[in-house]
């Protein structure tokens, strides 16, 4: 049987689009945070510079002055101020600050100087031109060459000739070029046109042909179109340079280089992106190839790198951050804004329109059902609080469910003392659902309150609840369940969770009359519904099942957040685990029993929580694991994200906590960092329950 439609819909859903827009704006705004954080971390993170203690550092110290070897600085760190580690393009278009360029040049030179390298090139990453870089290099003692490279750069399918203006800077020795510097210029001179200045100063190179083996690291066989095209270009272009990246140095590039030095006038083989972790045997092979064929080998070295682990760490943090934004921040902000709009624009208006209890022409009788099993320590207090409600017109029905202690005796004494207290006894323990049904059958009230004997109601609980039943379409009204034993950290975290969840998700459900679950701690039902619908034991969450049934029959289900029921929360992890697994499994059972609900928006939202649990749990648990595995470099990128995260968590929790009726609980928002760990655990339980179910 499908859910019946109500005649009058609540208007709370009309606020959702506004709240969602605000949530999207804030979420998108936070998505730009990496562009702020990463540059700061890149600028302050200690980078790994080449030194004589490293294999590559010692290697370069030994080979830089070999006749056919020229080493080159490839910028400094291959990172730009915006945090992009794919390039360090010195170009006005990149808007890199001049101070940043000068700092990088100086730091790079210091690395090579520490290795004892005296003659070297400066090859900026990428073919780019920046007058500021030229000026800085010349001030540092470099001869700067300007020219256009007409090299063949492979596209997806075709190969095109792409002109690029470039910088090549050669470090001077004692104010003039060394022998190797001059020789390199001589290699280029057949295709260079001087502009009337000496070779020690500036040289204008009009054209330099180059073959560029870009991304050959992904090549799988010699029949690759790129390989065949490159061989044809050797004959047609007769290039003087071969440019490759170290990651592309494989069997295919090696074979191509062997052919190139035989078939063409190649004079320089340039190998870019050599880093501290590069395989020195591959570099040995290149140098040996150059020696055998009288070819210069230019080793273009990135002198300092953020260890690769940091790059991975940053990537993982970015992925986690965007997942966090769209799976946590967006719904959190949306619900909090929805709550605020609903609280101030709908709830206040509704409270004004509701008749107060003292304004009612008559007070309908309320039957309070108290199921009890071995509750001798608390049953007396539970009865006292029930009959002490300021509403007045109540009957209390205690259903002793086969207790083996003094529960029955104590309840019987109250029944003898008060006319509005009744005791019904089961011969044996048959469970809470049956006890509620027995009590409901005996009830005379127009409103029936289900509660637990270990929960107690605020004095004006019924006065807050009853007026809502003036709307004939209201079938149930629930309360706000609050933790009474907030004595330790775990119960305080539960109090924070209880208030936040009930004043966001459940309150927003109430705005449309679609509360999903009326908790068994204290929920009131119209007798017309309660008398004609038994509480079932087909699920372990009878309160969820009973609420779903009310909604299926077309009743509005509301919440009154100022009606508070206090309950005892688990004080240790074992009790909490058992409780939450029972709740989670019970909700899954309920959704399965009520197939109509699969098309209900709030139920779909609940399903989404289960489906996202692996993602959220993996995201949350990855943080401490990666911190242990990757250490300081991971933490250097991660910690700056903690401040906005905890700030967001704190503010979004503080807002509902501040609206809690009893003793504003906003101070609990300071537990936001620990609340994250608490959520990790709950997400793990959700995942476990969903998988095992």
pLDDT in tens, 406-438: 999 999 999 999 999 999 998 889 999 999 999
Distance, CA of 233 to CA of 600 (rounded, Å): 65
Give the range among 105-114, 227-236, 410-419 with minimum mean pLDDT: 227-236
Give the range among 77-86, 347-356, 669-678 with minimum mean pLDDT: 77-86
Distance, CA of 290 to CA of 504 (rounded, Å): 71
Containing structural domain, residue 605: 12-28+314-364+446-692
Q: What is the pLDDT of residue 82?
A: 54
Q: Are residues 513 and 646 in the same domain?
A: yes
Q: Are residues 56 and 183 in the same domain?
A: yes
406 belongs to a structural domain: no
Q: How many domains does the chain have?
A: 2
592 belongs to a structural domain: yes
296 belongs to a structural domain: yes
Residue with tokens 């207290």: 421
Residue 377 pLDDT class (50, 70, 90 cuts): very high
Q: Checking phi first, is residue 272 left (phi over 0); if not, alpha (psi -120 to 50) or beta?
A: beta
**Mean pLDDT, rounded, for 63-90:** 74
Distance, CA of 142 to CA of 419 (rounded, Å): 104
**Mean pLDDT, rounded, for 532-543:** 94
63 belongs to a structural domain: yes
654 belongs to a structural domain: yes
Q: Are residues 514 and 568 in the same domain?
A: yes
Q: What is the pLDDT of residue 151?
A: 44
pLDDT digits (tens, 9 = 90+) for 151-171: 444 433 223 333 344 455 666
Distance, CA of 353 to CA of 349 (rounded, Å): 7
pTM of the model: 0.73
Q: Are residues 549 and 516 in the same domain?
A: yes
Residue 671 pLDDT class (50, 70, 90 cuts): confident
pLDDT at 685 over 70: yes
Q: Are residues 508 and 482 in the same domain?
A: yes
Q: Which two tokens stand for residue 623?
A: 């943080």
Q: Are residues 119 and 230 in the same domain?
A: yes
Q: Which two tokens stand for residue 503?
A: 């004043």
Q: What is the pLDDT of residue 89?
A: 61
Q: Are residues 234 and 359 in the same domain?
A: no
pLDDT at 150 over 50: no
Three-class SS state of 148: strand
pLDDT digits (tens, 9 = 90+) for 288-314: 999 999 999 999 999 987 665 666 777
**Mean pLDDT, rounded, for 64-73:** 90
Distance, CA of 622 to CA of 628 (rounded, Å): 10
432 belongs to a structural domain: no
Q: Which of 411, 394, 415 is nearest to 402 (CA)?
A: 411
- 561 φ/ψ angles, rounded to the nearest 5 degrees: -70, -15
Contact present, 295 and 271 (Cβ < 8 Å): no
pLDDT digits (tens, 9 = 90+) for 609-652: 777 777 777 777 777 777 777 777 777 778 888 888 888 888 99
Distance, CA of 548 to CA of 567 (rounded, Å): 23
Distance, CA of 612 to CA of 520 (rounded, Å): 27
DSSP string, 656-685: HHHT-SSS--GGGGGGHHHHHHHHHHHHHH
Q: Which two tokens stand for residue 573?
A: 């992890």
Q: Are residues 229 and 336 in the same domain?
A: no
**Mean pLDDT, rounded, for 460-480:** 96
What is the maximal distance between C-alpha atoms in the chain? 119
Mean pLDDT score across all residues of the chain: 84
Distance, CA of 427 to CA of 414 (rounded, Å): 20
User: What length is written for the chain?
Assistant: 693
Q: What is the pLDDT of residue 200?
A: 36
Q: Are residues 20 and 121 in the same domain?
A: no
Q: Tell me which of 305, 330, 350 is where a domain ends.
A: 305
Q: Are residues 628 and 547 in the same domain?
A: yes
Q: Tell me which of 305, 337, 353 is where a domain ends.
A: 305
Distance, CA of 602 to CA of 288 (rounded, Å): 70
**Mean pLDDT, rounded, for 23-49:** 84
Q: Which helix (H) or strand (E) holds 368?
A: strand 366-372
Share of the chain above pLDDT 70, in %: 84
34 belongs to a structural domain: no
Q: Which two tokens stand for residue 328?
A: 């946590």
pLDDT at 80 over 80: no
Alpha-carbon dihedral angle through residues 218, 221, 224, 229, given to the nearest 10 degrees: 100
Q: Are residues 182 and 251 in the same domain?
A: yes
pLDDT at 684 over 90: no
Residue 208 pLDDT class (50, 70, 90 cuts): very low
More confident: 53 or 100: 53
Give the range among 16-30, 310-324, 528-542 with minimum mean pLDDT: 310-324
Give the range among 113-117, 120-124, 479-483 with minimum mean pLDDT: 120-124
Q: Which of 97, 82, 219, 200 is nearest to 154 (CA)?
A: 219
pLDDT at 585 over 90: yes
Q: Are residues 19 and 60 in the same domain?
A: no
Residue 218 pLDDT class (50, 70, 90 cuts): confident
Kindly calculate the radius of gyration of the chain based on its CA atoms and give it in whole angstroms.
37
512 belongs to a structural domain: yes
């Amino acid at each position: 049987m499908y859910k019946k439609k109500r005649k009058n819909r609540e208007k709370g859903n009309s606020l959702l689009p506004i709240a969602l827009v605000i949530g999207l704006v804030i979420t998108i705004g936070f998505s730009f945070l990496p562009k702020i954080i990463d540059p700061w971390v890149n600028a302050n993170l200690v980078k790994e510079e080449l030194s004589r203690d490293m294999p590559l550092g010692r290697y370069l110290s030994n080979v830089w002055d070999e006749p056919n070897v020229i080493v080159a600085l490839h910028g400094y760190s291959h990172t730009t101020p915006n945090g992009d580690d794919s390039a360090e393009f010195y170009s006005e278009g990149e808007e890199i600050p001049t101070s940043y360029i000068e700092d990088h040049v100086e730091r790079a030179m210091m690395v090579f100087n520490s290795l004892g390298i005296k003659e070297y090139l400066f090859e900026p990453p990428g073919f780019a031109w920046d007058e500021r870089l030229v000026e800085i290099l010349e001030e540092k003692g470099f001869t700067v060459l300007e020219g256009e490279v007409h090299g063949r750069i492979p596209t997806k399918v075709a190969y095109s000739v792409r002109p690029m203006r470039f910088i090549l800077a050669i470090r001077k020795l004692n104010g003039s070029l060394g022998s190797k510097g001059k020789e390199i210029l001589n290699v280029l001179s057949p295709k260079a046109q001087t502009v009337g200045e000496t070779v020690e100063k500036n040289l204008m190179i009009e054209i330099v042909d180059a073959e560029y083996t870009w991304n050959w690291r992904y090549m799988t066989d010699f029949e690759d179109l790129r390989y065949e095209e490159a061989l044809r270009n050797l004959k047609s272009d007769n290039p003087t340079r071969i440019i490759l990246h170290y990651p592309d140095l494989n069997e295919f590039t090696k074979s191509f280089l062997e052919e190139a030095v035989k078939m063409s006038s190649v004079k320089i083989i340039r190998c870019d992106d050599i880093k501290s972790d590069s395989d020195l045997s591959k570099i040995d092979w290149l140098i040996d190839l150059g020696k055998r064929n009288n070819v210069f080998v230019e080793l273009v070295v990135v002198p300092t790198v953020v260890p690769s682990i940091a790059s991975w760490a940053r990537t993982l943090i970015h992925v986690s951050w965007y997942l966090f934004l769209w799976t946590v921040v967006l719904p959190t902000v949306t619900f909090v804004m929805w709550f605020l709009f609903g609280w101030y624009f709908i709830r206040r208006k509704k409270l004004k329109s509701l008749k107060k209890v003292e304004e009612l022409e008559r007070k309908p009788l309320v039957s309070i059902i108290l199921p009890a099993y071995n509750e001798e320590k608390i049953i007396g207090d539970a009865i006292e609080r029930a009959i002490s409600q300021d509403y007045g017109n109540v009957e209390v029905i205690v259903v002793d469910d086969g207790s083996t202690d003094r529960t029955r005796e104590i309840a019987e004494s109250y029944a003898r003392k008060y006319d509005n207290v009744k005791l019904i006894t089961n011969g044996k323990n048959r469970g809470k659902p049956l006890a509620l049904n027995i009590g409901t059958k005996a009830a005379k009230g127009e409103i029936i309150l289900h509660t637990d004997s270990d929960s107690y109601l605020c004095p004006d609980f019924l006065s807050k609840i009853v007026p809502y039943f003036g709307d004939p379409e209201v079938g149930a009204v629930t309360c706000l369940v609050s933790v009474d034993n907030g004595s330790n950290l775990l119960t305080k975290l539960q109090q924070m969770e209880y208030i936040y969840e009930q004043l966001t998700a459940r309150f927003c459900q109430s705005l449309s009359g679609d509360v999903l679950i009326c908790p068994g701690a204290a929920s009131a039902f119209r007798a017309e519904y309660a008398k004609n619908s038994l509480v079932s034991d087909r699920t372990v969450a009878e309160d969820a099942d009973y609420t779903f049934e009310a909604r299926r029959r077309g009743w509005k289900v509301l919440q009154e957040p100022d009606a508070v029921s206090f309950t005892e929360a688990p004080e240790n992890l074992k009790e909490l685990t058992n409780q939450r697994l029972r709740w989670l499994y019970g909700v899954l059972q309920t959704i399965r029993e009520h197939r109509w609900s699969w098309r209900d928006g709030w139920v779909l939202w609940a399903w989404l929580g289960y489906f996202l649990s692996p993602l959220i749990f993996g995201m949350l648990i990855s943080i401490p694991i990666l911190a242990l595995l990757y250490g300081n470099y991971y933490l250097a990128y991660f910690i700056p994200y903690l401040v906005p995260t905890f700030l967001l968590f704190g503010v979004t929790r503080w807002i509902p906590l501040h609206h809690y009726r009893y003793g504003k609980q906003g101070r609990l928002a300071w537990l936001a960092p620990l609340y994250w760990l608490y959520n990790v655990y709950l997400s793990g339980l959700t995942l476990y329950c969903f998988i095992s179910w």
